[in-house]
Chains A and B, each alone.
Chain A
Amino acid sequence: MNRRYFILGMAALAGCSRAARPRLNVYNWSTYVAPDTIPNFEQEFGVTVRYATYESNEEMLAKVITGNSGWDIVFPTYTRIKPMLDYGLVQPLRHEWLPGLSNLDPRFRTPTWDRELQWNVPWMWFATGIAYNRDVRPAPTRWADLWDPRLKGRLTMLDDPEDMLGACLKKIGLSFSATDPAELQRAKQEAIAQKPLVRAYLNAEVRDQLVSGDVLAAQLWATTAQQAIDSAPNLAFAYPEEGFPLYCDCAVILRESQRSRLAHQFLDYLLRPKVAAAAGDYTRVATANGAAKDFLPEATRNSPTLYPPPAILERGEWPETLSPAAQRLRDRIWTEIKSS
């Protein structure tokens, strides 16, 4: 008797879930939307969004590369889009379903990595620079300033081969995306020379240490720096004079996704100025949505960290996608630096 009720109950439950709302699986960087972004979308479109986060492109790619991960939308940094295309992981976008594309900032309507926006919708962009405590005098304005012996033990660099080696390359006047082995060796020497000064190679976790004053200068992304500055006004951010990398995280729809229409609706929802503005303000990242700027609070809109003036932006460089051979070389150099 009991068993029959159990089976009936299970069947009812199964039936219920099939009549449940449509689902969308979105895999994004941690804290990249405002708290109400997802719930509002769910409510307006009557769907359930499974939203999970990752801390690095590699983490996301490792899951997605099988072509069978279960995710519909992911947010790779633009340099990873080409490899994803080569692997056939991305679905082409249908612009007729994305009227909001016109809201994008002109700089992002024909980006170098996808001139026709055939595959991606730029979401947020930022640069890597130097976050520092105003007590440091003179204030660091160049990558070279991070080799100052006075900063010994109070300096951190990013735990990211691309960014860290990139800073070394810029310091000696080379391109951020250099692939020539001789040039990379020189950059490696710089990194090894700096290592005794470096307290640790940290990413976002250095924010608290900047706020508490343990760390005086850190190579950091503009967005994390802005978050630190919010907590401690005596911090500031500098865009290095030698040049700095610019990154853009973009939304793509995975080819494996069976919910193309819904995915497009989500992307179009993200393109709404108010939604993008809310996300950009909450997460302290610069949004690629030009129309959203009007909806940002003034303090955010005028933040020199998040939205630097064009003169400064000109010094920025968009890193290129590395070829596998180049990546192998860089990875080896990274291991050498870390174990020196």
Chain B
Amino acid sequence: MKRWLGLYAVVFFAFLHLPLLTLSVFSFNSSRFTVWEHFSLDWYRAVFRDPELIEGTWNSVIVAVAATLISTVVGTLCAYGLWKRGSRLLTGTLYLSLVTPEIVTGISLLALFQWMFRWLHWHLGLYTVILAHVAFSIAYVVIVISARLRTISPNLEEAAMDLGASEWGAFFYVILPALGPGIIAAALLALTVSFDDYVITSMVAGVDSQTLPMVIYAMARRGASPVINAISALITVFFGLLIVISQRVREA
């Protein structure tokens, strides 16, 4: 049985990773088609020379970092608050935001912004994207931190307060450090979800706020291009490194 499972695992991981590996390998192929011509870095050069791509990446980074910071802070606080005293309404709303189909979230936010802007005379922009990203990331953060909180004994806090700490002190100096790895995991999750998002972002992005997935999608709509392979390889490597680094930080 163990043998079969092991064999299956090999096939499974191959299925999971081969498509991305293939993309990456062919990003070095000079031909547009899947016939190997010769090794070439042309597509990578094209990536770095494309101003739309560079700007899209930059915007994605700004949005992801901002949204991650905000949602991690807000979500952690919320998870702690819910841990002390649960609220079925809030938890239910958070879950609902998680299961709402992305297209529905996207159009509802667009409708909200357009309705508001009729009076405020503002425009869609990077900030609307950030607001939207925080809105759907909070639930993820709350779930991860809540799970982590469940492994922390409530006595810890009591002990701290018995020793004279205020409620805030107990939270900040005792609970928060204990949550450390959980916060990193939640932040990583929020970062990925934000960086990756296409549907919601495309609906609420403004004049200046094209993000990387939007640029990639537009390119894919115009026809498969090895430039996308190159970008995909870069993204994969980047996030792979991020995960490995975060793992090391956690173990340390």
Q: Which residues of A contact B (CB under 8 A)?
A: 25, 27, 30, 50, 52-53, 55, 62-63, 66, 68-71, 203-208, 212
Contacts and interface: CB of A to CB of B under 8 A. Distances in A.
B210 A52 contact: yes
B173 to A, nearest CB: 26
Given A68-B123, A69-B124, A70-B207, A204 B222 contact: yes
Q: Is the interface of B mostly helix, strand, loop or mixed?
A: loop
Most chain B C-beta atoms within 10 Å of own C-beta, residue among A50, A68, A71, A212: A68
Contacts of B124: 63, 69-70
13 contacts: A25-B207, A30-B222, A50-B207, A55-B218, A62-B110, A63-B124, A66-B117, A66-B118, A68-B118, A68-B121, A206-B223, A207-B223, A208-B224
B206 A70 contact: yes
Nearest to A212: B33
Given A69-B124, A203-B221, A204-B221, 14 more contacts: A25-B207, A27-B207, A50-B208, A55-B222, A66-B117, A68-B122, A69-B206, A70-B207, A71-B207, A204-B222, A204-B223, A205-B221, A205-B222, A205-B224
A204 B114 CA distance: 30
A7 to B, nearest CB: 21
Contacts of B117: 66, 68
Nearest to A205: B223
A48 to B, nearest CB: 12
A69 B117 CA distance: 10
Contact of A66 (B114, B210, B221): B114
B206 A208 contact: no
Most B-side CB within 10 Å, residue of A50, A71, A203, A208: A208
Contacts of B118: 66, 68
Contacts of A27: 207
Contacts of B207: 25, 27, 50, 52, 69-71
A206 B207 CA distance: 28
B222 to A, nearest CB: 5
Contacts of B110: 62
Interface string B108-149: 001000100110011111000000000000000000000000
A275 B138 CA distance: 50
B223 A30 contact: no
Contacts of B210: 52
Contacts of B121: 68
A22 B220 CA distance: 33
Contacts of A66: 114, 117-118
A208 B32 contact: yes
Contacts of A212: 33
Interface string B197-234: 00000000011101000000010111110000000000
Contacts of A30: 218, 222
Contacts of B122: 68
Interface in B16-37: 32-33
A107 to B, nearest CB: 29
A118 B168 CA distance: 66
A69 B222 CA distance: 25
A106 to B, nearest CB: 33
Interface in B62-102: none
A208 B32 CA distance: 9
A203 B221 CA distance: 8
Contacts of A71: 207
A49 to B, nearest CB: 12
A66 B206 CA distance: 12
A287 B121 CA distance: 36
Interface in B26-71: 32-33
A205 B207 CA distance: 25
Nearest to A71: B207
A306 to B, nearest CB: 19
A207 B208 CA distance: 29
Contact of B123 (A52, A69, A204, A208): A69
Q: Which 7 A-B pairs have the closest CB atoms?
A: A70-B207, A70-B123, A205-B223, A208-B223, A66-B114, A204-B222, A68-B117
Nearest to B55: A52
Contacts of A69: 123-124, 206-207
A138 to B, nearest CB: 28
A55 B123 contact: no
A176 B227 CA distance: 38
Nearest to B123: A70
B103 to A, nearest CB: 14
A27 B208 CA distance: 11
